[in-house]
Chain A
Amino acid sequence: MDATDISRALTRITHEILERNRDAEGVVILGIPTRGVELAERIAAKMAEVEGTTIVPGALDVTMYRDDLRLKAPRALEATNVPEDIDGRVVVLVDDVLMSGRTIRAALDALSDLGRPKAVQLAVLVDRGHRELPIRADFVGKNLPTSLAEKVRVRLSGTDGSDDSVSIEGSGA
């Protein structure tokens, strides 16, 4: 995927979110660090354009809720910044790649400590399969069937300082 494909996918996701929830009223967009935050910002900007309102995206760091903390050296925390009260709202989580579903599981736990959303929806740029938990995305930019030996690399201009792209690296060949 190149920059145009990514932009097109995000535009479509934005419209799908609006369609599903009728409008942007009561919708809170939360990105999961690091790249999910930038994607959330872009979706919020597109949404604001369509709806003619301002939409403030947030960030939700799930590090402290992960189930693999004890497998690696302690990680640095990223910012959590939830713009408004999430009680009774529809929260749309945004992440770059959906694979095992464990990050989203952690995010759901983190959300339940912050309040009680009316509903939680999930938007991802890439769904690469290999789910280990019963979790699915509501809005998918692109389904990318991969093998476990491969790596999906997402680059975003704001986070990585290079052109937007999604590529598959290190195929098992």
Chain B
Amino acid sequence: MKHLLSAGDLSRDEAVLILDTAEQLLSVAQRPIKKLPTLRGRTIVNLFFEDSTRTRISFEAAAKRLSADVINFSAKGSSVSKGESLKDTALTLQAMGADAVVIRHHASGAPHRLATSEWTKGAVVNAGDGTHEHPTQALLDAFTMRSRLGDLAGKNVTIVGDVLHSRVARSNALLLDTLGANVTLVAPPTLLPVGVETWPVETSYDLDASLEKADAVMMLRVQRERMNASFFPSAREYSRRYGLDVARMNRLPDHAIVLHPGPMNRGMEINADVADSDRSVIVEQVTNGVAVRMAVLYLLLGGATEGETA
């Protein structure tokens, strides 16, 4: 594993290795000294062309807990606003000696371009590209589900909402399929992407029909900022048909959990009472995110890399 670009690139063994490693690293957060010396002297650049709170902070915390040096780059307030290209930005970072680049970009495929180019020698980690993929989110979701539900093989996961604009949904569908779970995507027809029939999932337009068998329900944010047309008549109607309220939550099996990648639109896709209920693992997802990202950074950077003598 040289880069982490897509959740679909991971074999079952690799995915399980990341999750198992994360499980061991989770305990670091409970120790008096929350730091491991493993990546001392390595430089990790957080290259964020798009706004983000939890992903950037999570990657930063993960890198720092492994003793790596972190350089944060956000497009706002940098030369990108003067028109600098991705290539020139990447070359600059390479010249500064970045061992890994964590990239979030509004264009789908930007991390792939960076990884396959000669612009940077370091490992590339996709932290969300356009409406394409967000593999570490899928890993932390799988980690959270696994810690609550046990082995994911044969478990039913329902992903609800704006699948069309969601990189989280695609990464989750690919990873959960690799791990043996059954995924159902529930969305209005307008919010399902073209070609969804080639995904390893079932699709449905009816949320109520898929609640009773679900072991986990993942609510997706309605991404208004990416919507350039009207995909549903009104927020109220969307919320009525596809929002998770208390009545719907009560129809879930007793062991079922509710996930949300954040940020939430309370009252839109998820009711505030649901978000704050015992079934909601949304805060746990954030804690687990740091451990999962530590595992990814350790497995990408911790061992011998090409060019170093074995």
Interface residues of A (CB under 8 A from B): 61, 64-65, 69-80, 109, 113-115
Given A64-B36, A69-B38, A78 and B303 touching (CB < 8 A)? no
How far in angstroms is the closest Cβ of chain A from B1?
9
Residue among B25, B31, B66, B308 making CB contact with A70, cutoff 8 Å: B308
Do B33 and A113 have beta carbons less than 8 Å apart?
A: yes
A61–B298 Cα distance when bound, in Å, is 15
* Cα(A64)–Cα(B299), bound, Å: 11
Task: With CB as the reference atom, state the residue of chain A lying closest to B303.
Answer: A74
Q: How far is the CB of B73 from chain A (nearest CB, A)?
A: 26
Write the chain A residue with the least CB distance to B17: A76
CB pair A71 B17 closer than 8 Å: no
A72–B303 CB distance below 8 A? yes
Residues of B within 8 A of A72 (CB): 303-304, 310
B21 within 8 A of A: yes
- The answer to whether A77 and B20 have CB atoms under 8 Å apart is yes
Q: Tell me the bound Cα distance from A70 to B298 in angstroms.
A: 11
Q: Say yes or no for B32: interface residue by CB 8 A criterion.
A: yes
- The answer to whether B303 and A75 have CB atoms under 8 Å apart is yes
A20 to B309, CA, bound (A): 44
20 new A-B pairs (CB below 8 Å) besides A69-B302, A80-B27, A114-B32?
A64-B37, A64-B298, A65-B38, A69-B38, A70-B308, A71-B309, A71-B310, A72-B303, A72-B304, A73-B303, A74-B302, A75-B303, A76-B17, A76-B20, A76-B21, A77-B20, A77-B25, A79-B24, A113-B36, A114-B31
Name the B residues within 8 Å of A113 (CB-CB).
Answer: 31-33, 35-36
Least distance between B309 CB and chain A CB atoms (Å): 8
Q: Is the CB of B303 within 8 A of A65?
A: no
Closest to B41 in A: A70
Report B191-240 residues with CB < 8 Å from chain A CB.
Answer: none
- B121 → chain A closest CB, angstroms: 15
Q: How far is the CB of A107 from chain B (nearest CB, A)?
A: 13
Cα separation A64 to B77 with both chains bound (whole Å): 36
Q: For the complex formed, measure the closest distance between the CB of B82 and the CB atoms of chain A, giving whole angstroms.
A: 38
Within the complex, the shortest CB–CB distance from B277 to chain A, in Å, comes to 32
A71, B302: Cα distance in complex, Å: 10
Residues of A within 8 A of B299 (CB): 74
Contact A70 B36 (CB under 8 A): no
User: Across the interface, which residues of B come within 8 angstroms of A79, CB to CB?
Assistant: 24
Q: Mark B8-48, 1 if CB is under 8 A from A, else 0.
A: 00000000010011001101000111011110000000000
C-beta contact mask, B265-288 vs A, less than 8 Å → 1, else 0? 000000000000000000000000
* Cα separation A112 to B36 with both chains bound (whole Å): 11
CB A85 to nearest CB in B, in angstroms, measures: 10
A115 neighbours in B (Cβ, 8 Å): 32
In the assembled complex, 14 residue pairs joining A and B whose CB atoms fall closer than 8 Å, in A order, are A64-B302, A65-B36, A69-B303, A70-B304, A70-B305, A71-B310, A73-B304, A74-B298, A74-B300, A74-B303, A76-B17, A77-B24, A113-B36, A114-B31
Nearest 9 pairs of A and B residues by beta carbon: A74-B303, A77-B24, A64-B36, A113-B33, A74-B302, A64-B38, A73-B303, A74-B299, A77-B21
Specify which chain A residues have a CB less than 8 angstroms from the CB of B302 in the assembled complex. 64, 69, 74
Q: How far is the CA of A72 from the CA of B304 in the complex (A)?
A: 5
Set of chain A residues within 8 Å of B66, measured between Cβ atoms: 64
Q: Name which residue of chain A comes closest to B67, CB basis.
A: A64
A113 to B27, CA, bound (A): 13
- B27 shortest CB reach to chain A, Å: 6
A100 to B286, CA, bound (A): 41
What is the CA–CA distance of A73 and B33 in the complex, to the nearest angstrom?
26
| C-alpha gap A77/B291 in the complex (Å) | 13
A87: nearest chain-B partner, CB-CB: B32
Expressed in whole angstroms, the Cα–Cα distance for A114 and B31 within the complex equals 7
A69 and B308 CA atoms in complex are apart in Å by 12
Decide yes or no: A61 and B24 within 8 Å by CB, A109-B37, A115-B32 being known contacts: yes
Q: Would B24 and A80 count as touching, CB distance under 8 A? A: yes
| A27–B302 CA distance with the chains assembled, in angstroms | 33
Enumerate chain B residues within 8 angstroms of A70, measured Cβ to Cβ: 303-305, 308
Which residues of A lie under 8 Å from residue B303 when comparing CB positions?
69-70, 72-75
